[in-house]
Amino acid sequence: MRHFLTDLFSITTAELEDFFEVRDQDKLKTETKKDNTQTEIELELPGVKKEDIKIKKINFNHYDSLIVSGKTRRGIEFTKTYYLSESDVNNIKAEYKDGILRMIIPKRQVPKPTEHEIKIE
């Protein structure tokens, strides 16, 4: 069965995907959800193949960043940076399905302060 929109407008699936492809990196739709244990980021990347997406974590001056970059089928490049605080950047998980990149970033376990009395001599 062909897709409804391709039948309606007599266009191919590839042409339809090209229409919705990433065109302006500043307009990439991002949804962020946070709770006490993790941050979840969903980034819409229509018209981008999984193998054309790169995710890097960078630590600079004790600040962690997550950089998502890639290229569309037409060669349009994009980059999106997320600044992370209190995150366990060594355990980030990512999946890409149906044009949506989903990243799960666990929160870092902050050690509880300890108290130690110093004996005065």
Within a domain: 120: no
**Host domain of residue 44:** 4-106
Within a domain: 111: no
CATH code for the domain of 99: 2.60.40.790
Within a domain: 47: yes
Within a domain: 112: no
Within a domain: 121: no
Within a domain: 14: yes
Give CA–CA dist 105/100, Å, rounded. 16
Within a domain: 116: no
- pLDDT tens per residue, range 106-119: 998 877 888 889 99
Work out how many domains the chain is built from and give that number. Answer: 1
Nearest to 94 by CA among 54, 63, 58: 54
- pLDDT tens per residue, range 47-104: 889 999 999 998 877 788 889 999 887 788 888 888 888 888 889 999 999 999 999 9
